[in-house]
Amino acid sequence: MEGVRILNMDNSGVPSLRDLSARMEAATGWRIARIPGLLHEKDFFKLLSQRIFPSTDYIREKHELDYTPAPDCFHDMFGHMPMLTEPAVADFYHLFGKTALNATGIQRTWLERLHWFTIEFGLIRQAEGLRIFGAGIISSKNEVTHALSDSVDVRDFSMDAVINQDYEVWHLQPLLFALESFEQLEDAFRHWTKKEGLSV
Ligand SMILES: [Fe+2]
């Protein structure tokens, strides 16, 4: 919610990528590039490694309000961008991009899972209780209610648990991981890259 405020998002319309990019750059040094849709993973990682977030600028159809398998600007702007104004998330995602560029074979699969269970479907424990920060949840009304319900198996985040956990894209997520803090994510990942010989 703090990120939404920093980016000056309100209900007057879809914000411009140029304005969002300027505000994000002032907050954490991330900028935004407009892209036509899903990118090849190498191009995606390359942009992240340069602290550039690729964003779509088209919006989903009315019948896709709850879920769309391909990203649209509601997912990119409202789901991802506010989180990139948070310094530890911004630094983690930058390091993630640089690391993913160098990863090969099974390491790529591990990083896909890490991305899924944090950036897209992550939860975090805060003083007020369990909170959502993953963009895949934030941009789906059903996932938002489901993620904080009793039907989800919420486990403590650890690099080992997450990289070994398979997932499916096509239904509400039965299993999620909760961080203790965003610094925990950045520290655990940095430590893991050293162990894997993937330091950048
Ligand atoms: Fe996403």
Q: Cα 174 to the chain's mean position, in Å?
A: 18
pLDDT at 67: 77
Å from CA of 18 to ligand 1 middle: 19
Å from CA of 2 to ligand 1 middle: 19
pLDDT at 38: 83
Over the stretch 148-196, which tens digit does the pLDDT of each residue have?
999 999 999 999 999 999 999 888 899 999 999 999 999 999 999 999 9
pLDDT at 66: 79
Segment among 24-38, 54-68, 102-116, 135-149 with least mean pLDDT: 54-68
Q: What is the 3-state secondary structure (H, E, C) of 115-128?
A: HHHHHHCCEEEECC
Å from CA of 57 to ligand 1 middle: 14
pLDDT grade for 4, boundaries at 50, 70 and 90: very high
Å from CA of 87 to ligand 1 middle: 18
**Mean pLDDT of the region 93-100:** 98
Using DSSP's 3-state secondary structure scheme, residue 41 falls into helix
Å from CA of 19 to ligand 1 middle: 20
Asked if residues 17 and 57 have their Cβ atoms less than 8 Å apart, the reply is: yes
Query: What percentage of residues in the chain have a pLDDT greater than 90?
Result: 86
Å from CA of 137 to ligand 1 middle: 10
- CA–CA dist 157, 23 (Å, integer): 30
How would you classify the pairing of strands 175-179 and 129-132? Answer: unpaired
pLDDT at 200: 82
**Cβ count within 10 A of residue 67:** 16
Using DSSP's 3-state secondary structure scheme, residue 55 falls into strand
pLDDT at 76: 96
pLDDT at 62: 87
Å from CA of 84 to ligand 1 middle: 12
For residue 122 the two structure tokens come to: 């992550």
For residue 73 the two structure tokens come to: 């600007």
pLDDT at 36: 86
Q: Which domains does the chain have, with CATH numbers?
A: 2-195 (1.10.800.10)
Å from CA of 135 to ligand 1 middle: 6
Is residue 120's pLDDT more than 80? yes
pLDDT at 162: 98
Over the stretch 57-70, which tens digit does the pLDDT of each residue have?
999 998 888 777 77
Å from CA of 5 to ligand 1 middle: 20
Torsion (CA) 6, 8, 11, 17 in degrees, nearest 10: -110
> Which residues are registered as beta bridge partners of 178?
123, 156
Is residue 114's pLDDT more than 80? yes
Å from CA of 108 to ligand 1 middle: 17
Å from CA of 12 to ligand 1 middle: 23
88, with CB counted inside 10 A (0-12, 13-18, 19+), is middle
> Which residues are registered as beta bridge partners of 33?
54
Indicate the pTM of the whole model: 0.95
pLDDT at 169: 86
| Helix boundaries (H) for 29-83 | 41-49, 73
Å from CA of 94 to ligand 1 middle: 15
Over the stretch 174-186, which tens digit does the pLDDT of each residue have?
999 999 999 999 9
Residue with tokens 């890259």: 193
Å from CA of 70 to ligand 1 middle: 9
Identity of the amino acid at 43 = D
Over the stretch 25-53, which tens digit does the pLDDT of each residue have?
999 999 999 998 888 999 999 999 999 99
